Amino acid sequence: MARKKAVNEETFHPVTVDDHKELNRRNNEKKKTAVNDALKFPTGDQFEADLSDILAETPEDSGETIVIALIDSDNFDHINSDFGSDEGDRILIETGKYIRKKVSKDTGVYRIGGDEFALIFKGETEREDIFLLLNELKNDFDVKTPDGVRQTITIGMATAFTDASRYAELVRKADGALFRAKRSGGNRVAMAKEEKMVPKTSHYTQDQLQRLSMLSKAEGIGEAILLREALDMLLKKYDV
């Protein structure tokens, strides 16, 4: 007796690693949409466009203070694994609403990806006062997980023209401050600080250095700045 062919037998195939990756990508996109739809914050692309425009249009001697802050939830990964993605979305939504409520309406608030938010301050407020405001924002944060545990946030900030004049460099400085604060245990606010530079080494080929010099001259940007931006992109790629 002939074996009855299973439905869709010809199209069946084992689940592969690529299948899992695609499923995770779709799930992540759904989560981004759910949180973004609830908060209606501008996202990373708009943050870059707005900050770039502000830096280009504001003279260094204008007397205005331009500060950016990157805000990251501490130990967020365990929320999705312990309580589920819906609970993770709730935490992100409550966090975004809390941040928007705590800063002035003139402050730009953005969700730049995952559990990270960004702020742009522009005006006459001194950066030291902005630091105190961010510290208060961190201290008063009271979003909790279902088991009653209070979440914490960590913040890195950088000031235009004092720390950097270009978008990529300013964000890199704020991200460096955030990294230092995280490495120190989190639940704190850190300012960008002056960096100790080291000379270029034999890690680069002669051809790479010549091309770097050409790029530096063409863009009017220092070689050291270009190298720091490139290294930062590499570290982000490998989530270091």
In which band, very low, low, confident or very high, does the pLDDT at 238 lie, cut at 50, 70 and 90?
confident
In which band, very low, low, confident or very high, does the pLDDT at 7 lie, cut at 50, 70 and 90?
very low
Residue written as token pair 């405001």? 133
Q: In whole angstroms, give the CA distance from residue 6 to residue 222.
A: 65
What is the dihedral sign for C-alpha 160, 179, 46, 94?
A: negative
Q: In whole angstroms, give the CA distance from residue 231 to residue 211.
A: 16
- Provide the pLDDT for residue 12: 44
26-37 pLDDT, tens digit each = 555 555 688 999
Q: 169 is written with which tokens?
A: 């460099």
Q: 213 is written with which tokens?
A: 């010099």
Q: Are 196 and 81 in contact (CB under 8 A)?
A: no
185-209 pLDDT, tens digit each = 999 999 998 665 556 566 777 767 7
77-88 pLDDT, tens digit each = 889 889 998 999
* Cβ-based burial of 167 (10 A; exposed 0-12, middle 13-18, buried ≥19): buried
Q: Are 118 and 71 in contact (CB under 8 A)?
A: yes
What is the secondary structure of the chain as a DSSP string?
-PPPPPTTGGG-----HHHHHHHHHHHHHHHHHHHHHHH---BHHHHHHHHHHHHHHS-TTS--EEEEEEEEETTTHHHHHHH-HHHHHHHHHHHHHHHHHHS-TTSEEEEEETTEEEEEEEES--HHHHHHHHHHHHHH---B-TTSPBP-EEEEEEEBTTTBSSHHHHHHHHHHHHHHHHHTTSSSEEE--PPPP----TTS-HHHHHHHHHHHHHHT--HHHHHHHHHHHHHHHTT-
For the full predicted model, state whether its pTM sits above 0.75.
no
- pLDDT averaged over the chain? 85
